[in-house]
Amino acid sequence: MDQKESLKRIEERNNNISAREENVEAIVSSIFSSKFPEKFMVERITHHMLQGKILLEVEVSMPPDIMIRDAMEAAKEAEKEILNAASNIVHVNVQLRLGSPIPQFKYT
């Protein structure tokens, strides 16, 4: 019985973490698509859990005609927006990627 209960708790915890991860990705994608659609394209969202809090790294590509200084300012603004959007996110780092977006590979 104890082993079944333990496995059930682990499964519930994993489901909760998975739901939180999906929620975080939705929040980040929503902020970038609604507030910075011309400036950034989200390439990758990496999140880490530390004592129940979320630390994010968001890699974005930017168009070649935007000045780096402007992109840095917009990235700082995006970081603030993300931090304000979810109380369990305690750190956000937006990494700017120059050049064209990362190609999407399809595995068959």
The pLDDT tens digits of the residues spanning 22-40 come to: 688 888 989 988 998 888 8
pLDDT number for residue 45: 92
Does position 20 have pLDDT exceeding 80, yes or no? no
The domain 23-98 is placed in CATH, from the list 3.30.70.920, 3.30.70.1350, 3.40.190.10, 2.40.30.10, at: 3.30.70.1350
For residue 15, pLDDT over 50 is answered with: no
Q: How many other β-carbons are positioned within 10 Å of the β-carbon of residue 26?
A: 10
What is the rounded average pLDDT for all residues in the chain? 80
Cβ contacts of residue 67 below 8 Å, gap of 6+?
none
pLDDT band at 105 (very low <50, low <70, confident <90, very high): low
* Spatial separation of the C-alpha atoms in residues 56 and 25, rounded to whole Å: 10
**Cα→Cα distances 22→31, 64, 95, Å:** 14, 30, 20
Q: What is the pTM of this model?
A: 0.70
Domain boundaries, the chain: 23-98
